Structure 1
């Protein structure tokens, strides 16, 4: 009788433990499923963000959320956006720099070489690539930034200018569900504006820039993601990087700007010679920092 009671109590105990284990496994399974759902949601969100070009990211950082336009006092963003185009084309394998030669020409003296006219899927990038392909004599990175901006005294080269770049980029962001389109009256004239509608994408962009120079900071720029490194340089060149740092606390802001300054103090000529360096990227950096 006693042994039967012991066996039955042991059986109850094993069943209890089994049911407890089942509940724990179920709970763990639910947690794993929630984690997978969260990861999938992040990946979907990341996919949306990944579809933004460097030009669109820089413009998005510069746009006032409610007003839907960039600062009237910002005279750097135009050249910065053209620098974005050259780096984007280089990342996609459409252009490169000519060889430095035996005497090792400087980045600013080397010409941009056309490599491929395969469509990029972006109208403005294809337009810039067409100009680079059809120019009779190759130009330097600095010259292309000036030509694409229309900042040239040569009337024979005015046709290289890309017009209405900010408006066209804003329309791209409208199509991608990031901005919307409105009309605003400014006393003497009406202006089309593009206020922010999807704040999540902009906040992820801002967080990405902040983390790159704070929590995820690495001293070696060649260990950073190339697109993120380019974004930091170009956001600074376009005078919009402070918009990403504005929400930070004072000590975080100071640290972020200090690390951006460390990147700006690097010698592009030296960095461009390191393994896997993108020479167009460093040539654009040299154009804006020299």
Structure 2
């Protein structure tokens, strides 16, 4: 009798220890979450510190003033497309595997959630939950429209992501890249976010210029922000350039080039938009002799990282949407 009671007390004690361990962990992080919803931390090194959206926002921001151009109408829509790309690169979404999809243009093909675990990035998780919980599959262009609020469907008007630029800027503040200041604009005060750590923007600029101006494209790595362990390094850089084109911010980093180099860089960016808006990607060469090794590196990366055709079709679909936006030249 006493031994049975002892065993039961022993089990209760063990359970209490397990519970206290979980409680301490929750208390340390000060949040409640389902462990099954959180991405494996071992995959963190395969994802860069800055998302594609944050990188494009950095290129668009004025370094000292800390705000975007008031005349830029394209960046909001482009940021939604970059959210779709980032989710695809993180293995969260893909095309619906339906043979009939090949009858449709890439932007009109349907996507689905294939991994609902959280990424830790607020905007990505918000968009992922919308895609995961939607009962019907929608196309790439549909999702970009919905996340941008460009829809007449009153049932889906709440799919719009609000204050994306401001939230991205605050995320960069949390990561130590930007800082927050308040400046007076005529009759009102506005929060601005000047550059605090110039290293990330310098690295992003260097990658873009290497892709658009060098005969052979060689990536430069940064141990903190863009380590060599990151997956899809070349594809991410392709999407970074196409995102800058769509957001109408590419000129910000090309203005210091001489006229011929700047013109060739825009031509090369236009070529990249066209070549990566379909899948399989086809090497059509470069009319300006830039990035001659690009497709060799892309094919090596696809063989190594193995994203799969369904993910690469999402990349092509978003780039196709970008290519149909305002001309970059």
TM-score of Structure 1 vs Structure 2, range by shorter chain = 0.7 to 0.9
Distance 1:164 1:271, change over 3 A: same
SS at match of 1:225: helix
Q: Structure 1: how far apart are the matches of 2:280 and 2:263?
A: 25
Shift in Å, 1:272: 5.4
Q: Which residue of 1 aligns with 2:5?
A: none
**1:260 paired to 2:269:** yes
Quick check: 1:99–1:110 contact (8 Å CA) kept in 2?
no
Alpha-carbon distance in 1 for matches of 2:323, 2:199? 32
Map 1:30-41 onto structure 2 (within 5 A): none
Structure 1 unmatched runs, 5+: 1-46
Which residue pairs with 2:317 in the alignment?
283
Distance in 2, matches of 1:65 and 1:242, equals 15
> Could you tell me how far apart the structure 2 residues matched to 1:217 and 1:184 are?
43
* Compared CA separation, residues 266 and 272, structure 1 to 2 (3 A): closer
Provide the C-alpha distance between the structure 1 equivalents of 2:51 and 2:186, rounded to a whole number of angstroms.
Answer: 34
Which aligned pairs between 1:91-170 and structure 2 lie closer than 5 A?
91-99=89-97, 101-102=99-100, 104-105=102-103, 106-170=105-169
Candidates 243, 247, 251, aligned match of 1:242: 251
Q: Is the 8 A contact 2:273 2:322 kept in 1?
A: no
Deviation at 1:211, TM superposition (A): 0.6
Change (3 A) 1:270 1:88: closer
Pairing 1:205-216 to 2, within 5 Å after superposition: 205-215=204-214
Conservation of the 8 A alpha-carbon contact between 2:277 and 2:318: no
Return the offset for 1:224. 7.6
Q: 1:102 and 1:124, CA in 2 relative to 1: closer, same or farther beyond 3 A?
A: closer
Q: Which residue of 1 aligns with 2:186?
A: 187
Contact 1:178 1:196 in 2 (8 A): yes
What count of residue pairs does the alignment treat as equivalent?
239
Distance in 1 (CA, whole Å) between partners of 2:111 and 2:61 is 30
TM-score (norm 2): 0.68
> How far did residue 96 of structure 1 move?
0.3
> What is the SS of the residue equivalent to 1:162?
coil
What is the rounded CA distance, in whole Å, between the counterparts of 2:110 and 2:169 in structure 1? 31
* 2:189 counterpart SS class: strand
SS at the partner of 1:185? strand
Q: Separation in 1 of the partners of 2:107 and 2:54?
A: 26
Structure 2 counterpart of 1:50: 48
| Residue of structure 1 in register with 2:199 after alignment | 200
Q: Is the 8 A contact 1:56 1:173 kept in 2?
A: yes
> Which has the higher Rg, Structure 1 or Structure 2?
1
Deviations 1:138-166 (A, max 9, x none): 11111111111111111211111111111
Task: Tell me, yes or no, if the aligned pair for 2:276 and 2:319 is still in contact at 8 Å.
Answer: no
Residues 115 and 70 of structure 1: CA distance in aligned 2, closer, same or farther (over 3 Å): same
* Structure 2 residue runs without a partner (length 5+): 1-44, 218-231, 284-298, 303-308, 325-329
RMSD: 2.2
Corresponding residue for residue 241 of structure 2:
232
**Partner Cα distance (1:209, 1:273) in 2:** 21
Change (3 A) 1:283 1:164: same
